[in-house]
């Protein structure tokens, strides 16, 4: 998958997410996600807005939000949450085969699908197995990127080693664990730390607490 388009996997993962979320109760939609200050429904609304985004739309929305990207996100979330959860699922479903995206690398969209998928699933106790080649591709993207979430800086000075596939990155004290847990830690999710081990774990915890 390293050299092929990630879109088939993105579309597949969108379908899988809808299948997982269809049975949710209103209370479950209000569950706090792994994203600070966002509920499960907030994250899903953000994913829906991103699913429909194009570079021109992104620029227009960013300008209209005073060049404050978090303000833009909050406006999009509020818009996508105007209806019921069932209507939100219908809206996501209507665009889940789209291949539009904001400015930036397409691999960021794959990362969004996996990381935000876990932001939603983990607090709900929903287990999901992502294609390993997709998770590795996302790790390879994030290890070199400080775009919005600062992954590259967060893991600087550490060796990351996956225990369920042949993948390592960096130099310094080692942190090891499942590939997906490493990706979540790289992107600032402390919920995966109990799956990781190694002499570099305290350094990674410190980076996540900043």
| 148-174 residue pLDDT tens | 889 999 999 999 999 999 999 999 999
Which CA distances in Å does 7 have to 51, 77, 98, 140? Answer: 12, 23, 9, 17
| pLDDT band per the 50, 70, 90 thresholds, residue 210 | confident
Q: Write the pLDDT tens digit of every residue in 169-199.
A: 999 999 999 999 999 999 999 999 999 999 9
Q: Which two tokens stand for residue 71?
A: 């303000």
Residue 1 has pLDDT above 60, yes or no: no
Q: Which residues, other chains included, contact 188 with Cβ-Cβ below 8 Å and sequence gap of 6+?
A: 149, 150, 151, 154, 208
State the chain's mean pLDDT as an integer. Answer: 95
H or E element at residue 161: strand 159-162
Separation CA 32–CA 186 (nearest Å): 20
Q: Write the pLDDT tens digit of every residue in 15-49.
A: 999 999 999 999 999 999 999 899 999 999 999 99
CB-based burial, 83-96: b 16+ in 10 Å, e otherwise? eebeebbebbeeeb
Q: pTM for this one?
A: 0.94
């Amino acid at each position: 998958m390293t050299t092929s388009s990630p879109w088939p996997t993105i579309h597949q993962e969108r379908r899988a997410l809808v299948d997982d979320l269809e049975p949710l109760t209103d209370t479950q939609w209000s569950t706090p996600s792994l994203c600070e200050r966002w509920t499960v429904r907030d994250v899903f609304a953000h994913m829906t807005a991103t699913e429909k985004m194009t570079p021109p739309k992104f620029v227009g929305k960013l300008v209209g939000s005073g060049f404050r990207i978090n303000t833009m996100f909050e406006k999009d979330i509020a818009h996508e949450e105007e209806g019921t959860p069932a209507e939100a699922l219908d809206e996501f479903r209507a665009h889940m085969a789209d291949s539009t995206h904001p400015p930036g690398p397409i691999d960021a969209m794959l990362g969004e699908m996996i990381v935000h998928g876990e932001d939603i699933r983990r607090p709900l106790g929903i287990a999901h197995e992502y294609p390993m080649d997709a998770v590795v591709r996302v790790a390879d993207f994030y290890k070199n990127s400080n775009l919005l979430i600062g992954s590259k800086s967060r893991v600087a000075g550490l060796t990351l080693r996956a225990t369920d596939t042949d993948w390592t990155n960096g130099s310094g004290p080692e942190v090891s664990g499942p590939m997906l847990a490493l990706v979540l830690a790289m992107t600032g999710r402390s919920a995966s730390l109990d799956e990781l081990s190694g002499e570099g774990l305290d350094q990674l915890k410190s980076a996540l607490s900043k």
